[in-house]
Amino acid sequence: MKKRLLVLEDGTVFRGYGFGSSKETIGEVVFNTGMTGYQESITDQSYNGQLLTFTYPLIGNAGINRDDYESIVPTTKAVIVKEYARRPSNWRSQMNLDEFLKEKDIPGLMGVDTRRLTRVIREHGAMKAILTDDTREINKIIQQLSQTKLPRNQVEQVSTTRPYVSPQTGRKVVVIDYGLKHSILHELNKRECHVTVLPHDTNAETVLNLNPDGVMLTNGPGDPKDLPYAHEMIKQLQKYVPIFGICLGHQLIALANGAETFKMNFGHRGFNHPVREIVTGKIDFTSQNHGYAVSKESINKEKLMVTHLEINDGTVEGLRHRLYPVFSVQYHPDAAPGPHDGAGLFDQFIELMDAWKVEKKDA
């Protein structure tokens, strides 16, 4: 097994062994605390451009199967583990993690102290890193890393370029794809929603011409401030149709209504984040994957109300518009696998669409 280096921009070096693809890669190194769901995480487009570290020490036990993809062409930059299971044991398994990463051209690193790497990220924040088999002096690798700029068009890289339909017989829902997880479509289809998926740069007029009962804004990678066209689209759209935003969609709704977002030190990535619903006091355990958050102090209380807060750090986890049929959450109620505590939000979306149709008819 070939030796491979992970070099962080602060000069920290981790030495291990390569698996998966053999290519060199540069991106932002982050960590995920989930004990399960490695296939869903690797194929989640919110990890676009990131070197994904798993804190759980053994990854790949159940192999890779055809059912658990969140996207078919993942854009995660690399996978970093303490150890991967070479011989998975599960009746659905079609290949092991190494074979999967080779097929998807994603490099892997194993045999490193992922707990130490996680502590470095927690103390110094998510940072640029390079995964390489290069035998040059470390200083030269760090110089290459410092001269490399990470792309800002991440949503453009992962969004569909052409509209498509996931047909059902019920309510008509338009989904704006900023990095769509397939589990969102599963939840909508389970509720018999006829789903039309549109590209990230779709304008409000195009959406309204489809006469939808509701609009969903999906998760996705990167800085929400890099999508000013989406802010404008939401401003125009929210007056006419119910909107439900998840993760990046939540942040975009906040920006469209005058709030600010900020980059977190190391973000929330895992399946164990406790979130409190303010009105009821109910606590849900949630799946999360984001490096940006909405600034609570920046929220215009005449437009938006905070509905949910993260218990550990107090960050904003949910919003509802005071004037329009619009709500959002920072976490993933569709999580597969993950806690199912938030799945009822899809039912709330259905109820909101139905109430809006009655109100519209009576107006």
**d(C-alpha 181, C-alpha 175), whole Å:** 11
From 68, 98, 177, 334, the catalytic residue: 334
DSSP 203: -
Tell me, yes or no, if 247 is annotated catalytic.
yes
Q: Which of 247, 250, 268, 284 is catalytic?
A: 247
- 223 as an active site residue: the answer is no
268, 284, 332, 341: the active-site residue: 332
What distance lies between CA 48 and its chain's CA centroid? 9
The 3-class SS string of 227-257 reads CHHHHHHHHHHCCCCCEEEECHHHHHHHHHC
Q: Return d(Cα 316, Cα 251) in angstroms, integer.
A: 10
Tokens coding 180: 């769509």
Rounded Cα distance between 189 and 360, Å, is 24
Q: What 3-state class would DSSP assign to 139?
A: helix
Tell me if residue 177 is catalytic.
no
Residue whose C-alpha is closest to residue 268's, from 240, 241, 295, 247 = 247
218/49 Cα distance (integer angstroms): 18
Please identify every residue annotated as catalytic. Answer: 247, 332, 334
